[in-house]
Amino acid sequence: MAAFTSVSQVLSELKKHENKKNIEGMKRYGISVEKAFGINAPTLHALSKEIGCNHELALALWESGYHEARAIAAKIADPKRLTKKLMESWVKDFDSWDICDGTCLYYFRKYPDAYHLAFSWAERKSEFVRRAGFVLMAVLAVHDKKRDDHDFLLYFPLISKYASDERNFVKKAVNWALRQIGKRSEFLRNECIQLAEQIREQDSRAAKWVAADAIRELQEKKIAR
C-alpha cells in the first residue's frame, strides 16, 4: 500500500521539499507560482511513482490548486476513468505551460477521442486551452502509433491558422505540433516542411518564427535519417 493516501499527507511531503530558490527560477520560465513549492521534476516523478494509480486522490490533489499537486494528479489519475467532462474541467484550470503539457502527455492523450478533442481546443480563445489542443497534437504524433499518418494532415489547417497567434505559449505549442508531426515519418516530414514554407509567407512575426524553427529542425540530417 502506498505511503501517501490523502491530500494532507501529500501536501505535507511536498512542503518538506519546498525550495524558494526554485520558485524564482519557475517565475523566469513563465510558470505560475501563486501556489507552488518549487520542487524539481525528478522528485515529483518519484513521489508519483510511490503513490501509484489513485484516482480519488488525483481528483483531490487537483482541487487543492497547488502547482506540484496538480503535476502529480496527472500522473496518478486512472486513464480508465478519464472522461470528457473531467478533461473539460481540468483544462479550464490550466494556468502554466508545464501543467498543461504534463497533463496532456501523461493523462489526456490516453482518452480514446483525444485526437478529435484537439480540434475543438485549438479553436478556443483561451491561451492555455488553445495550447492544450496543439500539445495534444504533438504528443499524439509521438505516442498514437496505430493512427494513420494521413489523419495528422487534418490538423494542418489549424496549424496554419494559429501559427500567427502572437501569444508565446500558443505559438510555441503550434510549433511543437508541427515539428512532432513532421518527425513521425518521412511522408509527414516532407508534408510539414511544405506547410512550414507556406506559413513562412504569412505577414506575422509569430508565423515566420513557427515556420523557420520547424524547417530548421525538420531539415536536420539526423531527423531526415
Write the pLDDT tens digit of every residue in 79-127.
Answer: 999 999 999 999 999 999 999 999 999 999 999 999 999 999 999 999 9
**CATH 1.25.10.10 applies to domain 112-225:** yes
154, 130 in Cβ contact below 8 A? no
Three cell numbers written together for 93: 484550470
Q: Read off the pLDDT of residues 120-148 as tens digits, 9 standing for 90 and up.
A: 999 999 999 999 999 999 999 999 999 99
Number of H helices, E strands in the chain: 14, 0
Number of Cβ within 10 Å of residue 52's Cβ equals 12
**DSSP symbols for 66-78:** -HHHHHHHHHHS-
**18: DSSP letter:** -
Q: How far is CA 67 from CA 14, 17, 100, 225, in A?
A: 11, 13, 11, 39
Picking from 178, 177, 172, 202, the residue whose alpha carbon sits closest to that of residue 192 is: 178
Q: Read off the pLDDT of residues 19-43 as tens digits, 9 standing for 90 and up.
A: 988 898 898 888 888 899 999 999 9
Domain boundaries in the chain? 1-81, 112-225
